[in-house]
Amino acid sequence: MKSRRKFLQTSLLAGAGLSVPSFIQAETLRNLANKISPSDTINFGVIGCKGMGWSDMNAHLKLPNVNCIALADIDESVLAQRSSDVENLRGKKPAVYGDYRKMLENKDIDAIIVGTPDHWHCLNLVDSLSAGKHVYVEKPIANTIEECMLMVEAQKRYGKMVQVGQWQRSGSQYAQAIDYVKSGKLGQIRLVKTWAYQGWMKPVPVLPDGAVPKGVDYDMWLGPAPKRPFNENRFHFNFRWFWDYAGGLMTDWGVHEIDIALHAMGVTAPKSVMASGGKFAYPDDASETPDTLQTVYEYDGFNMLWEHATGIDGGNYGTTEGIAFIGNNATLVVNRGGWKVIPETENVEGERKNKVEEVPHTKPEGNALELHAQGFVNAITSNDATKLTCGIETGSIAAINAQMGNIAFKTGNKIYWDEQKGQFTDTDANDLMKANYNNGWQLPKI
């Protein structure tokens, strides 16, 4: 059946004259999907449907052999909206659930998309894997290093496909840039800069605690996070700026950029980390995580710098976000807009010449998020984990390094990593690796 699914996916796309999923219109998709028997369809469910959970599902629905048959969310208004969205795309409403655990009992679901806040990812993933589902989990994979490590072990135990939503891995410009870095043409790379300057981010206004919105199961939203009164600032989207649920821009954007940097350089863990920053742009707003941060990672033979800033766009090399590999011969800069190589020059017989050939700005091809979705489906249909663009171990490396940056910031110390023991040499730093579950929820046991 898996080989039939793979054949059907390939042949239907080819028969429609389509090479990139984003070109398929809803009516065309419905017609293609209707030609596929239920036994050859990959049925998806979504946990957490408002933001990236829906963006991910929408990307997967560009593939005709994918169907969405179930949605789980703690907000009834979100369930109603996304149920209608699925119906508009495919002509049939999915089943809806307020508790994702009930949804996982549905034997017809093959794969789950996890789009909940970060503090829920570990429970959602482990429960989905133990229910026999493949999982596409949003980044960062978890809110603590302990959870990241546990999630890797869970995938090994249950053996299902897990794709992490670090979709830059599926971008053509990143693949080309990584190949160039590994070619050695940049010469000895001494520094890698990674950054995200986010001018669109304005102060989060201080708001009083209030009543839970109608149709929202707030206790379920909190889950293992500490019990707190409802506050709009901590709910949809803005949860990212509060330590109970996430790690700020360090983990929200950092995992994307750090992932590319570490993969290109062929490293997984630093020797040391130090960080400095704070709420310098908006000191009196409601958020907790730093709006300005510089983090220095020491690896064998080079340093990596992460920096972020809110409210301004003036990032390195004239870009709001990106990765720069700074070598003796040239600097390669890559971001979501493309990549380029800026050569160093040298004096040759009285004339300045480039050490390497310049590579002009090269734009990406295709929609990376949709290609990332296609990679996950290809892995499922072929039962081949090598087709995953960003598996759980890969996702854990980026998430753990980003968490290390936040831990260094919180301790205020330069912290050292013992790779053999899988922990820091600092007791306070090791305490911050741990997941502390509340409200009767317990860290899964593998």
What CATH number did the domain enclosing 187 receive?
3.30.360.10
**Domain-located, residue 404:** yes
pLDDT of residue 349: 86
What is residue 34's predicted lDDT score, i.e. its pLDDT? 58
Q: How far is Cα 48 from Cα 117, in angstroms, rounded to an integer?
A: 8
Predicted local distance difference test score (pLDDT) of residue 40 = 74
Computed from CA positions of residues 224, 225, 226, 231, in that sequence, does the dihedral angle turn out positive or negative? negative
Domain that holds residue 162: 2-169+370-393
* Residue 440 is assigned to a structural domain of this protein: no
For residues 211 and 337, membership in a common domain is answered with yes
207 with 269: CB under 8 angstroms? no
What is the predicted pLDDT for the residue at 350? 87
Residue 370, CA distances (Å) to 69, 145, 365, 399 in order:
19, 29, 12, 22
**Residue 445 resides in a domain:** no
Q: Is residue 113 part of a domain?
A: yes
Give the Cβ contact number of residue 41 at 10 Å. 18
Q: Are residues 69 and 84 in the same domain?
A: yes
For residues 184 and 171, give the distance between their C-alpha atoms in angstroms, rounded to a whole number.
Answer: 21
Q: Hey, what long-range contacts does 420-426 have (CB within 8 A, 24 or more apart)?
A: 422/149
Contact present, 18 and 24 (Cβ < 8 Å): yes
Same domain for 235 and 189? yes
End-to-end CA distance of the chain: 30
Same domain, 272 and 259: yes
Regarding whether 149 and 35 lie in a shared domain, the answer is yes
Residue among 56, 63, 65 nearest 369 (CA): 56
In a domain, 263, yes or no: yes
Q: How many domains does the chain contain in total?
A: 2
Considering the domain architecture, whether residues 216 and 270 belong to the same structural domain is answered as yes
131, 106 Cβ separation under 8 angstroms? no
Residues 150 and 9 in one domain: yes
pLDDT of residue 398: 98
Cross-sheet strand order for the sheet of 95-97 = 95-97, 66-72, 42-47, 111-114, 134-137, 162-164
DSSP state of 227: P
Cα–Cα distance measured from residue 127 to residue 49, given in angstroms and rounded to the nearest whole number? 17
> Are 161 and 273 in a shared domain?
no
- 223 shares its domain with 301: yes
439 in a structural domain: no
Torsion of CA 126, 256, 363, 334, to 10 degrees: -150
Same domain as 182, residue 117: no
Same domain, 274 and 402: yes
Same-domain pairing of 282 and 184: yes
CA 275, CA 407: separation in Å to the nearest integer?
A: 9
Domain containing 132 — which CATH number?
Answer: 3.40.50.720
| Cross-strand partners of 164 | 137
pLDDT of residue 240: 97
In a domain, residue 121? The reply is yes
**Residue 138 maps to a domain:** yes
- Per-10-residue mean pLDDT of the chain, 446 residues long, equals 43 37 55 59 97 97 96 98 96 97 98 98 98 98 98 98 98 98 98 97 96 98 98 96 98 98 97 98 97 98 98 95 98 98 93 95 97 97 96 98 98 97 97 98 95
